[in-house]
Amino acid sequence: MTSNNNQFGEKRQMSRSRRFAARKELSSGARFTSRQAIVILLVSAAIGFIGCNKPPDKVRKQPVVNVRVQTSETRALRPLVESIGSLAARYQVTVSSELDGILDSIAVDEGSAVKKGALIAEIRSTDYRLACEQAASQLSQSETSLANVQQEYQRKDALYREELLTRQQFDDITARVRLAEADVARARAGNNLAKERLARTRIFSPIAGSVKEKRVTAGDYIRNGSFLVSIVRTDLLKLIFSVSEKDVGSLRLGQDVDFITDSFPGQKFRGRLSAILPALDERTRTLTVEALVANADGRLKPGLFARVTLYTGPARERVVVPITALIYDNSTTKIFVVEGEKAKEKNVKTGGKYGEYMEIVEGLSDKAVVVTVGQNNLMEGAPVHVAR
């Protein structure tokens, strides 16, 4: 009995020891977790303090842009209009036949120089000569008949005055005279026509110039209206070109025109505005004009392509810059200038184009340092380095 009680007491003692050890372990773990939380909070605060007191980053500098510049300048410029045109003969005629017949001869070839009134061709004249002789004979016969009737009229007129001839007889001879006169007039017209037709068998040049084209040869049978040759006059040419709608208001007859051609590089030719057509082309909205060009030496040829400059007024002082300096942004045109080693943007209004330069009507003064290379990399206030 006593042993059982001892065993029961030992078990109770062991259970108490285990509960005490478990409480101690839990207390120790709670203290350890609290220490870790405090350490973590202290470290975080230290990092925040250090971060708040970190010096700010330095501001990045804008890169320096290398550019090339040119100074704007004032020039005396004549307002102008540039266009493309071509040369044409001022006078060009087509020589045609006025008769039917066989072409006996043609006296010119393509490229031949001819004078006004020079013989071009001859049509076989046998039939026309015989017709002329027949008409002359008919005229002679009619004139003879008229002479006989007139003599009879004189005799009967004297008898009528002496009342030895009736009124009817006198009226008859009067009518016969009038008919004979009409026959003579008709015969004379026929004779003149026959002579004219005979004369037209010889064809002459109506102008002085050069033969541009020939379509017939001797022996061809030609009809009235057949094309024989075309002749052009090249000592005076016309330059035909178009002007845009916005420049029509500045056109005046007599204005100076300069032009160059690929056939004569480096040489400039001149003319004067001679014709302004009355209406614009509705498709292209341009107006065709013509200028007269002297060509006494014959160097210029009809059909040559020409680059035309039409001067529409007297010279005037204008600020100009190289075309390469311009920047186009939709409807705005701008330029960068250098002021104190920095780029400054300026909006400008342009005028006419003069070779490699553009007129500046508004927005830029003379002697401004204009950026001509590198401006596409610039913005307002950007530092620049001018390349020498």
Q: What is the mean pLDDT of each run of 10 residues along the chain (388 residues)?
A: 44 50 44 46 46 49 85 89 94 94 94 93 95 94 93 90 87 93 95 95 94 94 95 94 93 96 94 96 95 94 95 90 90 90 90 87 90 88 85
What does the pLDDT read at residue 180?
A: 93
Annotate 193-214 with b (16+ C-beta within 10 A) or e (fewer).
Answer: ebeebbebbebebeeebbbbeb
CA 339 – CA 226 distance, rounded (Å): 76
Side chain identity, residue 151: Q
**Any bridge partners for residue 84, and if so which?**
307
For 67-77+316-386, CATH gives 2.40.420.20
Selection from 140, 155, 142, 137 nearest residue 181 by Cα: 142
What is the reported pTM? 0.64
Selection from 370, 312, 329 nearest residue 67 by Cα: 370
CA 238 – CA 219 distance, rounded (Å): 37
What does the pLDDT read at residue 42?
A: 52
Selection from 353, 90, 330, 362 nearest residue 244 by Cα: 353
Selection from 232, 281, 226, 292 nearest residue 259 by Cα: 292
What does the pLDDT read at residue 352?
A: 82
**Roughly how many angstroms between the first and final C-alpha of the chain, as a whole number?**
121
Domain ranges of the chain: 1-55, 67-77+316-386, 82-87+232-311, 95-209
Q: How many CB atoms lie within 10 A of CB 378?
A: 20
Contact in structure between 249 and 261 (CB atoms under 8 Å): no
Write the burial class of residue 243 (CB in 10 Å: 0-12 exposed, 13-18 middle, 19+ buried). Answer: buried
| Domain 82-87+232-311 indexed as CATH 2.40.30.170 | yes
Question: Distances from the Cα of 232 to the Cαs of 25, 210, 290, 302, in angstroms?
Answer: 127, 5, 18, 9
- Per DSSP, 219 falls in state T
What does the pLDDT read at residue 51?
A: 46
Q: Which CATH code, of 3.40.50.2300, 1.10.287.470, 3.40.50.300, 1.10.579.10, is assigned to 95-209?
A: 1.10.287.470
Phi, psi of 223 (to 5 degrees): -115, 170
Contact in structure between 231 and 215 (CB atoms under 8 Å): no
What does the pLDDT read at residue 106?
A: 95
5: Cβ–Cβ under 8 A, 6 or more apart, which residues? none
Residue 31, token pair as written in the block: 């203290």
Angle at the Cα of 332 from the Cα atoms of 327 and 334, rounded to 5 degrees: 40
Selection from 49, 61, 135 nearest residue 383 by Cα: 61
What does the pLDDT read at residue 20?
A: 45
Residue 165, token pair as written in the block: 């001839």
What does the pLDDT read at residue 225?
A: 93
Residue 185, token pair as written in the block: 């007039």
Contact in structure between 135 and 201 (CB atoms under 8 Å): no
